[in-house]
Amino acid sequence: MDLGISGRTALVLGGTQGLGLSCAQALAAAGVKVVINGRDPERAAQIAESFGASAVAGDVSRPEERRRIVEEASAVGPISILVTNAGGPPPGPVEKHDHETWLKALETNMLAALDIAVQCLPVMKEQGFGRIVNITSFTVRDPYPNMGLATGVRAGLTGAMASLSREVAETGVTVNNLLPGLMDTGALHRVYSAQAASEGITEEAAKARMAESVPMRRLGLPEDFGQVCAFLCSRHAAYMTGQNITVDGGLSRSLL
């Protein structure tokens, strides 16, 4: 299927690994000029070269770096597609996280996405075409034990992006969220590793238990995710905005 976005420019935050990388690769396969962002310049450049993308290094948790990231990515072309993504906050009970941990999570997983989205909006509006896709989590819809920090900050992002989606809808810009479930990535490894340590079981046992909790009886893979992102960025999704699309193998028990 022709997604109708060949030749456009996309900035994919956290695009050097896991779900961000799967989104970047799917967009590149659709003919999009992709710019991936990551904190490690050497790794970002190496990964980008592997599938014909460009790279701009920088830490999105630092406000002073975010404008530079957008400016350097814009040198490739006017950004009409933005995929926001950042490494998840540490797992653990809500009562165990201190104030500084909450502030860091808010800066990295909520405020960074909002800031960069707002920076990209003028060009998107000028083009009459824009796609903002935020990678959040299924826990926004169906809270999960020991993930209160991640759920809290991503729920905040979800609310702000819901308002933004209505504010810019008439300009041709859509804003949607992708909610991954238990995806077999480095972020999930940290979760089941922590569970294994706290419960005195092996990581393999903790991982297998997670897989059994999914109706499909397996953890998700990055390739299960990227194509959904590419569709949301396509012309075919022009009438979809303000939506939370769950990619979780049936894990979420929410009715809507």
- pTM exceeds cut of 0.75: yes
* Reported confidence tier of residue 56, pLDDT bands at 50, 70, 90: very high
* Reported confidence tier of residue 255, pLDDT bands at 50, 70, 90: confident
Residue pLDDT, tens place only, 238-247: 999 999 999 9
* Reported confidence tier of residue 209, pLDDT bands at 50, 70, 90: very high
Domain match, 164 and 41 both: yes
Backbone angles phi, psi at 113, to 5 degrees: -65, -45
Is the pLDDT confidence value at 63 over 90?
yes
Domain match, 38 and 86 both: yes
Q: Which of 54-58, 187-191, 249-253 has the lowest mean pLDDT?
A: 187-191
Q: Per the structure, how many domains does the chain have?
A: 2
Is residue 251 included in any domain, yes or no? no
Helix (H), strand (E) at residue 129 = none
Is residue 155 included in any domain, yes or no? yes
Is residue 24 included in any domain, yes or no? yes
Q: State how far the Cα of 84 lies from the Cα of 37, in Å rounded to an integer.
A: 10
- Using an 8 Å Cβ cutoff, are 79 and 119 in contact? no
Q: State how far the Cα of 253 lies from the Cα of 135, in Å rounded to an integer.
A: 19
Q: In terms of residue numbers, what domain contains 215?
A: 182-219
Is the pLDDT confidence value at 191 over 90?
no
